Structure 1
Amino acid sequence: MNKKNLSERDICTKFITPAIQKAGWDIKRQVREEVSFTDGRIIVQGRMHTRGKGKRADYILYYKPEIPIAIIEAKDNKKPVGDGMPQALEYSEILQLPFVFTSNGDSFVFHDKTGTGNKLEEEISLDSFPSPADLWQRYLTFKGIDDPYAQEIVEQEYYFDLGGKTPRYYQLNAVNRTVEAIARGQERILLVMATGTGKTFTAFNIVWRLWKINAKKRILFLADRNALLTQTKNGDFAPFGNEIMHIIRHRKIDKSYQIYFALYQGLTGVEEWKNAYKEFSPDFFDLIIVDECHRGSAAEASAWREVLEYFSSATQIGLTATPKETKDVSNMTYFGEPVYKYSLKQGIEDGFLAPYKVIRVTTNIDEGWRPPRGLVDRYGNYVADRIYNLVDYDRKLAIDERTQVVAERITKWLKATDRFAKTIVFCVDIDHANRMRMALINENADLVAKHPQYVVKITGDDEIGKQELDNFVDVEERFPVIATTSKMLTTGIDTKMVKLIVLDANIASMTEFKQIIGRGTRLREKEGKVYFSIMDFKKATNMFADPEFDGEPVIIYDPQDGDSIIPPDEEEIEDIHYNDILIDETPPDPNKYYVSGIPVSIIHERVQYYGADGRLITESLKDYTKTNIKKEFASLDSFIQRWNESDKKAELISELADQGILLEALKEEVGKEMDDFDLVCHVAFDQPALTRKERAENVRKRNYFGKYSEKAREVLDGLLTKYEDDGITSIESGAVLKLKPISDLGSPVELVRAFGKKDDFEKAIRELEQEIYNNIA
């Protein structure tokens, strides 16, 4: 047997897997092959989208199920044994695996990040692959886990529900890093995970492993609203069973349960609950999970002092999507550096979170408006003579025409895309939310007449609107479609189907901005939500360019002797507590002016797309495509060569899509009838372009079909017509013979026989492609 003739998969089957098995690895429980650990980034341009390639490891080795410790990258035998090391190391960083191997079937190259071996990297024979016990002992030493009981904690397995969901790689990382930290004796732990990445599912797996091993017997889960407590208890935590779980709703405490769920003490507004935690002894709980621990208002800080410090002997885990890091507030001072971080940028890159595009809208009064002398508003108040700008609109000065222009633009977007796309309009205050609701109702009068709940206001003062909150977030409910709000929907609301977020509020807080963006990041591919749009009227999306948006959090608050370890808060807005939901609703300004008759119009719009590097692309699709194609192909000749060498043009077009080059979106801007090849040459290399119809006519003029039988000529002419209509990839499809107009000529078997054998038909297809492009050599 000549190894050089074997495929990569054959090398795995015949050499790598036997070597692993011989070293003592259980192939069924400890070894997984071809593990796809990301879904591939969703790339959006125009109204088009596609997925990039996901990341896939050839082998991942687990000491226990869901406790991965090593990765193996395989290559065929034509390549050197260490050829796959760069990719393996990249994947090991993402998966946080300390042991990295590559192999081409001759031997292994072993890269040991733990420093517990003799060398950082060395070549070892197939017979020298380390055993599970060997690698696990090195792993424990690397993690600083030397106590036998600590080792038992780390080795405790996950909860497995056959047919249920399994943790994603970043959730495994979060759970394993947390359990390891607790096994080492760490008492304060912070996990930073972007909105929509499954923090409560992660929390469940942490609690399950610690509870099963009896490391933590009594657990308290703190959240900020009753609905979330019920959702958590009956959802992710359901495997524990109701017999041992209890939601604390009043001061009368039943101490017979093991897992408790409760609201932050300072967020309920329910007198019976205040200080109810003192019904427990200070050492009652072993573990406290603090959900959304970025909270930092004065009342919440009080809750932290009173609850967390009261149960100071318990291990405490903070979960947040947005670490609170300002000149006044730092939750890392309390919990410590995060043991694991998974950002919005990484979630989008992996394809687990929805990317976004931004529509920035500028009106003629954005830079400032000065009232005419002696202007009186509708209530008889003289409007103060000064220059008003974006910060003032709807906070100090309400201009009817501006509200109308915003409502018109939102409605125009919905009509052009999907009038039933869930939409949140963030307003300055309750008054602004009410006026925006009215304007949107008038703009969408046709649908509101049929469906009165098409547009609603969801704010703390609106009983009817609040009753619609559950319907708005329910994936199965169509109405309401548009919700105007102030602060109520900024956080804590699981708005899975929101496709449009409108920013018409002054957003000064990065934490608030992150939370607002998080309302749209959840993916619902089956329901048709793969990205969301942000329409910005207040230049709030400038925050995307701030390094703090998706950067590394840093500790800023540094308590001195005598200071509280829980820092004060910078918020100045009074918190209103309403039905256990935090509503930082800003009351209307009594000195606000209300004016009309002001000419307001949109003077500029700019659409920005989420780029591969996590930055917003502000150039046109044409410019963006040109830049990216020239990164892939240095010259026109190199592109032509690659095009001609591609057996399947669809594969090359797919590779371009992976780089963010969506030709279908580009056709919307440049020309729908242009051939894909001509489109690239024209946009990237300034070449004159032919339409598909022109290329097809050139083929017909050359009488290329003359050498075929009459039936074969009919088939080829049908294929050429298909190319004219739908492009080159349509005739490469195996199902093309089943599509009209070709299917009218006969069954697929009959049509193939017109050329002879199947190979003859496929050869004819290749020749037809060559004829289509025969002037590009």
Structure 2
Amino acid sequence: MDKKQLTERDICTKYINPALQNAGWDMHSQIREEVSFTAGRIIVRGRLHTRGKRRRADYVLSYKKNLPIAIIEAKDNNHGLGDGMQQALAYSDALDAPFVFSSNGDGFLFHDRTGLFGQTETTLRLDEFPSPETLWELYCQHKGIHQSARQTVEQPYYDDGSGRTPRYYQTVAINRTVEAVARGQNRILLVMATGTGKTFTAFQIIWRLWKSKQKKRILFLADRNILVDQTKNNDFKPFGQAMTKVTNRTVDPSYEIYLSLYQAVTGSEDEQNIYKQFSPDFFDLVVIDECHRGSASVDSAWRQILDYFSAATHVGLTATPKETKEVSNIDYFGEPVYTYSLKQGIEDGFLAPYKVVRIDLDRDLQGWRPSKGQTDKHGELIDDRIYNQKDFDRTLVLEKRTQVVAQKVTEFLEQTDPYQKTIVFCEDIDHAERMRQALVNLNPERVKENRKYVMRITGDEQEGKAELDNFINPEERYPVIATTSKLMTTGVDAQTCKLIVLDQRIQSMTEFKQIIGRGTRINDDYNKHWFTILDFKKATELFADPAFDGDPVKVYEPNDDESVVPDDELYGFDSTTTELPCDQEPEDYEVTPDSKWESDDSSGCDTGGPGEGGGTSGGRTRYVVDNVEVTVIAERVQYLGPDGKLITESLKDFTRKKVKEQYATLTDFLKGWNEAERKQAIIEELAEQGVMWDDLIKDVSKKLGAEPDPFDVICHIVYDQPPLSRKERAEQVRKQNYFSKYEGASKQVLDALLDKYTDDGIEPIEDVKILTLAPFSQIGSLLELVDAFGGKPGYTEAVRDLEDELYRQTP
């Protein structure tokens, strides 16, 4: 058979697979074909969503399971030998496989990224494909893995038989870490966005190092009790009887895997430092979860634990490495061995995308100044100056501002889903309590259904804090709304959180990333695939900062002639003020019966209890004013574009630009639309490029008084044509007496398809499976209905003719 007539799959079967087998590769254990390694970016369409295309490699070759070392991209024989190379190199970047091949069945083009094989690209005959041993030897040389370390690197992953395997980026993170340890590196940093499975990644790292006996006694450190318990009961469960949780009592040295809360093993008194019951060389591996927090600071009490076990290998895990002039994860751990960002996670479809609703209030933008001699509601004389956004809810409380924010939150919930999990981030405990009260009063019916509809979840209040588990449990409806300040910024696995409200002035990029991370998890079972951010304090301007999704950069101590960059990381307060950060609350840290809370803040400030907020707190006066009107003066929606950045131009302008990149004129668009085998394919393609169909359809619907077809949305918004509604298009088809050439079941089917188009659009009528649903199933079975058109080709042609008629009446 002429090789030119073969499909790509035929080329794989007849030429590539035999070449691999002849080179000694095991087709079952070392070769995976058609490997989809991403989930496909989530594309939001109203309350529904679809997935973009997955990235798929034709071949991934591994010396051992989950140790990918080579990529092969196959093409049919009408392509050149190297036509798949650039695509394969892109896959190589993602999968961290240094040997890259492309083939059209005539041979292979080999690209060696290690520089050890010879020249960078070499043409190979089919019978010259390298053996597994050859590539593995080059791989180990490239990675600096000596013979003595190979047992560790080759140690298999944990596999419970359930089919759960690490995602591609987790595999890269695990392999790079294990390889670094095997080479003798003792300080290692992994940076992975919130929601990407850092704990599962840590488990597989520890498992392989433990099973290979590279590391025999391991300490896993966290600074939240809930994190330790979740880890022990979930991802770390396979360690079984070899694992224990350290308390502040006498330690048992008979275990091999130890999980501990920082606070459980440290204290202000030496006898409270339980970790000293271990000898300094007891552990040979310490894994530090959320290492950007307490252990990041050189002079923290928590760093003393790491210093005590300094002979051990230390692996730090974080989504947000802290890099300031005073605190540096990189100084301690070195450059990250791997970074997987929020942007990449959203692009791959493993993290939820978001949209931002930015709401500006008049007093925030214009400021407010008291009249001469004005006192607040408690009789305090208000200091005469201009108060603006950085003052509100800190030094000055405008009660009507709180009401406006709560009202906008309530309106959003009512318009979308009043039971979607919502976190409202406030300035401090007092603000969180006032926000709770305002939301309770604005949602009396919901609160009547269940008093826990709104709860303040802060570190100072046990009843609210006790509801944290219920809030993050997808199976528990209540609480729905949580008002908080610091407690829920990090380490809270709120899988179904769909709304994040920012009424907190955030100056810290670390804190901002952590807060956004509360919404990025996906939960298919509970239809959580995206989230919304309501921003009242311009915090989302940080999205535009290159540091938001870039590599961490160390901010070095400036010279005398340089301006000092303030360190706002810890408290998120405006450093130009002379106030102490007295509103820092001890809710960042878990308080348990077995632990003594300890922070690095030695200011001794009173955090101020909940209540009306009047009077002084920690040496600072907070004024409360109840008679100043506050109004919304601007509201803007920003969408996440396909490039991972917020679209700042209007949605219509963005849509025009994107569509005209592909269809410069109306004629071009009509040609593409009419020639498409599936109109839905064009709709999906434009959605992948960032066209927000749902919002555009809503906008045009307001003018029409009925819902338009996506076709009309594009014609109207991009090419200034008058739109038609779906109902109008369907009626025009009926006026043309289109059904006269059909009779019986076929006529009934087409009439029902037209009704379906009127109700739901073009997508459902392009899928033959619709014939299995009512009302079609009442006319006949799928086979009977297709036979009414003379078979599937006849049915497909009839649907195509129907579409032609629908779009014949084009402006």
Q: Could you say which TM-score interval applies, normalised by the shorter chain?
A: over 0.9
Partner of 1:774: 808
CA drift at 1:505: 1.4
1:660 aligned onto 2:694: no
Q: Tell me the amino acid that sits aligned with residue 613 of structure 1.
A: D
The CA distance in 2 between the partners of 1:742 and 1:164, in whole Å, is: 39
- Give the Cα–Cα distance (whole angstroms) in 1 for the partners of residues 322 and 297 of structure 2: 15
- How do 1:693-772 and structure 2 match up within 5 A? 693-709=727-743, 712-743=746-777, 745-772=779-806
Confirm or deny that 1:459 pairs with 2:458.
yes
Which residue matches 1:599? 629
Higher RCO, Cα 8 Å, sep 6+? 1
Residues 658-702 of structure 1: CA deviation (Å, up to 9, x unaligned): 222243442112125322322222222222333333333333343
Q: 1:683 to 1:215 in 2, by over 3 A?
A: same
Closer, same or farther: CA 111–370 of 1 in aligned 2, 3 Å: same
Partner of 1:614: 644
Structure 1 SS opposite 2:10: helix
Distance (whole Å) between structure 1 residues aligned to residue 401 and residue 518 of structure 2: 25
For 1:564, the equivalent position in structure 2 comes to none
Alpha-carbon distance in 2 for matches of 1:30, 1:713: 55
- Counting only pairs closer than 5 Å after superposition, residues 438-449 of structure 1 correspond to structure 2 as 438-449=437-448
Q: Which residue identity does 2:78 align to in structure 1?
A: K
Q: Deviations over 1:66-98 (max 9, x none)?
A: 111111111112211211111111111111110
Matched residue SS, 1:352: coil
TM-fit CA distance, 1:725? 3.0
- CA positional deviation for 1:234: 2.1
- Cα distance change, pair 307–714 in 1 and its aligned pair in 2 (3 A): closer
Q: Deviations over 1:32-65 (max 9, x none)?
A: 1111111011123655533211111111001100
Q: Give the CA deviation at 1:298.
A: 9.2
**Contact 1:224/1:582, CA 8 A, preserved across alignment:** no
- Check whether the contact 1:29–1:65 (CA below 8 A) recurs between aligned residues: yes
Deviation at residue 498 of structure 1 after TM alignment: 1.3
Read off the aligned partner of 2:80 and give its amino acid letter. P
Moved more, 209-218 or 767-776: 767-776
2:110 is the alignment partner of 1:75: no
How many aligned residue pairs are there? 769
Distance change in 2, residues 1:228/1:754 (3 Å)? closer
Deviation at 1:324, TM superposition (A): 0.4
Q: 2: CA distance between counterparts of 1:225 and 1:748?
A: 56
Residue 197 of structure 1: how far off its partner (Å)? 0.9
- 1:156-177, CA deviations, whole angstroms, 9 ceiling, x for partnerless residues? 1111110152101111111110
Whole-angstrom distance in 1 between the partners of 2:246 and 2:790: 77
Deviation, 1:31, is 0.5
Q: Which runs of 5+ in 2 are unaligned?
A: 560-566, 572-580, 610-615
CA contact (8 A) 2:511 2:569 kept: no
The amino acid across from 1:25 in the alignment is W
Is the alpha carbon distance of 1:706 and 1:461 closer, same or farther for their aligned partners in structure 2, counting shifts above 3 Å? closer
- Counterpart of 2:140, as a letter, is L
> Counterpart of 1:630?
660
In 1: Cα distance, 2:198 partner to 2:639 partner = 27
Mapping of residues 150-299 of structure 1, within 5 Å = 150-242=149-241, 244-265=242-263, 274-296=272-294
Q: Name the counterpart of 1:563.
A: none
Name the structure 2 match of 1:50. Answer: 50
Instruction: Output the TM-score relative to the length of structure 2.
Output: 0.90
CA drift of 1:180 comes to 0.9
Cα drift, residue 710 of structure 1: 5.7
- For 1:611, give the aligned amino acid: G
SS at structure 2 position matched to 1:117:
coil
Residue 692 of structure 1 is matched in structure 2 by 726
Residue of structure 1 aligned with 2:307, choices 306, 309, 334? 309
Q: Could you say what secondary structure the match of 2:547 adopts?
A: coil
Aligned to 2:577: none
Query: In the superposition, relative to structure 1, how do residues 248 and 267 fare at CA in structure 2: closer, same or farther (>3 Å)?
Result: closer
**In 1, distance between residues paired with 2:276 and 2:115?**
48
Q: Partners in 2 of 1:323 and 1:4 — Cα distance?
A: 53
Contact residue 45 and residue 621 of structure 1 kept, 8 A:
no
Letter of the structure 2 residue corresponding to residue 607 of structure 1: V
Q: Which runs of 5+ in 1 are unaligned?
A: 561-566
Give the letter aligned to residue 554 of structure 2. Answer: I
TM-score, with structure 1 as normaliser: 0.94
Where do 1:118-137 residues align within 5 Å? 118-137=118-137
Measure, in 2, the Cα distance between the counterparts of 1:745 and 1:261.
Answer: 63
What corresponds to 1:587 in structure 2?
A: 608
Residues 385-421 of structure 1 show CA distances to partners (whole Å, capped at 9, x for unaligned) of: 2111111111011111111111111111111111111
Alpha carbons 1:325, 1:331 under 8 Å: kept:
yes
Find the residue that maps to 2:78 and give its secondary structure.
coil
CA contact (8 A) 1:298 1:569 kept: no
Partners of 1:275 and 1:203 in 2: CA distance: 26
1:512-591 correspondence to structure 2 within 5 Å: 512-557=511-556, 576=586, 578-579=591-592, 586-587=607-608, 589-590=616-617, 591=621
* Alignment partners' CA distance in 2, 1:216 and 1:559: 41
Overall identity of the aligned pairs, in %: 59
Q: Counterpart amino acid of 1:615?
A: K
Distance 1:185 1:52, change over 3 A: same
Distance in structure 1 (CA, Å) of the matches to 2:280 and 2:623:
53
Superposition RMSD on alpha carbons, in Å? 2.5
Paired amino acid for 1:335? F
1:667 is matched by which residue type in structure 2? I
